[in-house]
Structure 1
Amino acid sequence: MISLTSSAVEHLKSLIAEKNADAGTGLRLRVEKGGCAGMQYVMGLDQAKTGDEVQSQEGVSIIIDQDSLGYLRGCQIDYVDSLADAGFKLTNPNAARSCGCGTSFEPQTA
């Protein structure tokens, strides 16, 4: 299960409304090879496709493809707006280490 902070929920609702997105639009979260730590997070608004895992919380949805699901179980998504940076940030219990900017991670080995 992936959880969202109240800040992430509110920002995602605002983002979906701002983009005049279709009903059923959610935040797609996936993992791909890349970044300075080996794997990187990719996020964007999207519609669910066949085989996706869709998790809903407080009226918003997180969409995850099956290949990314194992890397993301138990994550928390927050929205941070500070002087230095603004955006969705992930706390990932499946990461052995994360890069300094928080956009990539090294997965734990079994």
Structure 2
Amino acid sequence: MSEIVILTESAASQIKQMMKESGEENAYFRIGVYGGGCSGLSYAMGFDHEKREKDHESVQHGVRILVDNESALVLKGTVIDYKEAAMGGGFTINNPNAIASCGCGSSFRTATNAGKPEEC
């Protein structure tokens, strides 16, 4: 099975550093989608210690990744990168399924899932 979410080496390196700094070296990196934000769907990323029955699991660059079934439908082919900038670094999410996003870039919608937009 092909990966649902693709981590670049830079993103994986940053995630591993964040795990180490927070004492979460044995955790999974979970990425998901939930209803909300200006455009209807928002990303959620964090550390988790429990794999659920319907989670998709993969390992990339030494990072164990979990994606739930519902999120997998709108995350298929998404690339997560980490870029350094003069004012600090940040993750970028390139989701080929997103057809619209809000100005701040933190929420989106797809052709088949408009989510639950909130007022901005």
TM-score range, shorter chain: 0.7 to 0.9
Structure 1: 5+ residue stretches without partners: none
Q: Do the aligned residues in 2 keep the contact of 1:3 with 1:74 (CA within 8 Å)? A: yes
Whole-angstrom distance in 1 between the partners of 2:31 and 2:74: 11
Q: Closer, same or farther in 2 for the Cα pair 1:85/1:72, shift >3 Å?
A: farther
Tell me the TM-score normalised to structure 2 length: 0.81
Instruction: Return the alpha-carbon distance in structure 2 between the equivalents of residues 74 and 101 of structure 1.
Output: 22
Q: Which residue of 2 aligns with 1:38?
A: 40
2:57 matches 1:54? yes
RMSD value over aligned CA atoms? 1.8
Q: Which letter does structure 2 place at the counterpart of 1:12?
A: I
Match of residue 89 from structure 1: 92
Structure 2 segments unaligned to the other structure (5+ residues): 114-120
Aligned to 1:73: 76
Structure 1 stretches of 4+ with a deviation exceeding 4 A read none
Larger RCO (CA within 8 A; separation ≥ 6): 2
What is the aligned residue count?
A: 109
Contact 2:16 2:25 in 1 (8 A): no
- Specify the structure having the higher radius of gyration (Cα): 2
TM-score (norm: length of structure 1): 0.87
Counting aligned pairs with the same residue, the percent is: 39
Counterpart residue number, 2:29: 27
